[in-house]
Amino acid sequence: MRDETKCLHSGYTPENGGPRVMPIVQSTTYVFDSTEHIGQLFDMPTAHMYSRFSNPTVEAVEKKIADLEGGVGAMCTSSGQAASLLAILNLCSAGDSFISTSTIYGGTVNLFAVTLKRFGIECIFVDAEADEAEIEKAFRPNTKAVFGETLANPALAVLDIEKFANIAHRHGVPLIIDNTFATPILCKPISFGADIVVHSTSKYMDGHALQVGGVIVDSGNFDWKNGNFPEFTEPDESYHGVVYTRDFGNMAYIIKARMQLMRDFGCYPAANSAFLLNLGLETLPVRMKQYCENAMTVAKFFKQSDKIEEVRYAGLEDDPYHELAKKYLPNGTCGVISIVIKGGKQAAVKFMDGLKLASNEVHVADIKTCVLHPASATHRQLTDEQLVAAGVNPGLIRFSVGLENVEDILEDIRQSLDRV
Ligand SMILES: *Cc1c(COP(=O)(O)O)cnc(C)c1O
């Protein structure tokens, strides 16, 4: 099946006489005919037993997303943050380190630089544009992973995924890619060598600002038996001696994430949330196409305006990331544009407050046009140095183009720019 078809049919197939629409299984628990059967599940979870870590409705969505990304399995989480957290914790323990590009989402910077550090896990940030030899200097004997974003939020830098996959694999560790802005419709990181893909499904995948969520996808391609990951190859005492690579083959990573981390942390979405996410996924290919088209029109408008100092949209031919976009995002570079208005922060705030159709909100990649000032919101906790490293100019506005008629979006921009 192709993407449009997968979005409608993957994950759930009705039985004879069964409901056309994937049912919401709103139940915390599941019933078995014997104590013996339940006992076996605690050794080897082959069925749903408790909705803290698995549920049939959520599972259907997991299968659909895994299929879209070209992975062997997926696990949904209650937020994108939880997905990034568990993706790392499945590899790193106290005393380990990992490498991340510095151009990533502000919330992820906090998680990696501040909170994980308190747990004894060190993140070493690298410049995504640096050459391979420079990036390789960040590796230590305890490095367990490399992390980056396909299309960085909000710098809109396109990551050279193949370069990072090669570097990670030379050092025997997996590459984790946050593919939130691109979605599998615009880019499939696994096809470029990524081993693990994470998403905030709160953005385009849900698309309607209905529920916060995340997902981790396992490519099934990484060799966990290369000596660097004993937790995968030695018995897990908390599961009566399960050996993930021996017992689950190329699904070792995603099953370990569920059996150890989701069991213990429980940041699993509700069935109802998965149902809503599935509705968003059904129309994702149609929506992504229109986001890209609308955003290209808006980016070109900003580009010719004498009130705008800089436009960052990799779809534009003179954008510094256009060449990388042609390789990794040939069908479009999503609906998010970063602009820097002349006149700095004050002008930025005036422009944003003057918009009537576009709303000022803490969200992005939504069906309705919205704007945000990263330096005073999502990236507020970052130091000036971190802001620069993340590609965030103090006057930068993240303009998330929605699916309104593009003429209405342009009219709104025009009337507000006129007053700046
Ligand atoms: C929003 C976002 C996150 C965090 O996701 P939540 O669902 O808000 O927890 C992570 N990465 C990127 C790129 C994001 O845009």
The mean predicted confidence, pLDDT, of the chain is 95
Of the pLDDT bands very low, low, confident and very high (cuts 50, 70, 90), residue 378 is confident
Q: Rounded distance, CA 410 to CA 10, Å?
A: 37
Q: State whether residue 386 is helix, strand or coil.
A: helix
Of the pLDDT bands very low, low, confident and very high (cuts 50, 70, 90), residue 286 is very high
Are 254 and 298 part of one and the same domain?
no
Point out the domain boundary residue: 220, 245, 279.
Answer: 279
Are 164 and 300 part of one and the same domain?
no
Point out the domain boundary residue: 218, 245, 279.
Answer: 279
pTM attached to this predicted model: 0.97
Are 203 and 320 part of one and the same domain?
no
Q: Give the pair of three-digit tokens for residue 301.
A: 């408008």
Are 156 and 31 part of one and the same domain?
yes
Are 304 and 259 part of one and the same domain?
no
Point out the domain boundary residue: 228, 260, 279.
Answer: 279
* β-bridge mates for residue 372, sequence order: 398
Phi-psi group of 282: left, alpha or beta (phi > 0 → left; psi -120 to 50 → alpha; rest → beta): alpha
Whether 39 shows a pLDDT value over 90: the answer reads no
Are 122 and 220 part of one and the same domain?
yes
Measured in Å, residue 324 CA sits from the centre of ligand 1 at 22
Q: What is the pLDDT of residue 155?
A: 86
Are 98 and 47 part of one and the same domain?
yes
For 299-355, what is each residue's pLDDT tens digit?
999 999 999 999 999 999 999 999 999 999 999 999 999 999 998 888 998 999 999
Of the pLDDT bands very low, low, confident and very high (cuts 50, 70, 90), residue 418 is very high
Number of helices and strands (H, E) in the chain?
Answer: 19, 12
For 135-194, what is each residue's pLDDT tens digit?
999 999 999 999 999 999 888 999 999 999 999 999 999 999 999 999 999 999 999 999
Question: What percent of the chain is modeled with pLDDT above 90?
Answer: 88
- Provide the residue range defining the domain that includes 312: 285-417
Q: What does each C-alpha distance from 273 to 79, 254, 264, 372 come to in angstroms?
A: 11, 21, 21, 25
Q: Give the pair of three-digit tokens for residue 35.
A: 């104590």
Number of domains forming the structure of the chain: 2
Q: Give me the sheet containing 214-218, strands edge to edge.
A: 73-77, 214-218, 196-200, 175-178, 143-149, 97-101, 122-126
387: domain CATH number is 3.90.1150.10
Q: What is the pLDDT of residue 338?
A: 95
- AA letter at 30: Y
The answer to whether 177 and 198 are in contact (CB under 8 A) is yes
Whether 221 shows a pLDDT value over 90: the answer reads yes
Residues with CB under 6 A from ligand 1: 79-81, 105, 107-108, 149, 153, 178, 180-181, 200, 202-203, 212, 214
Q: Picking from 180-189, 381-390, 405-414, which range would have the lowest pLDDT averaged per residue?
A: 381-390
Residue 154: cis peptide before it, omega within 30 degrees of 0: yes
Are 140 and 273 part of one and the same domain?
yes
226: domain CATH number is 3.40.640.10
Probe ligand 1: pick from 115, 178, 203, max atoms within 8 Å of CB? 203
Are 266 and 291 part of one and the same domain?
no
Probe ligand 1: pick from 202, 334, 363, 379, max atoms within 8 Å of CB? 202
Are 329 and 250 part of one and the same domain?
no
Measured by CA distance, the residue closest to atom 2 of ligand 1 is 200
The answer to whether 50 and 178 are in contact (CB under 8 A) is no
Q: Rounded distance, CA 270 to CA 273, Å?
A: 5
Measured by CA distance, the residue closest to atom 7 of ligand 1 is 80
Are 275 and 176 part of one and the same domain?
yes
Are 264 and 378 part of one and the same domain?
no
Q: Rounded distance, CA 200 to CA 390, Å?
A: 18
- Mean of the pLDDT values across residues 356-372? 95
Find tokens 């918009």 and name the residue.
355
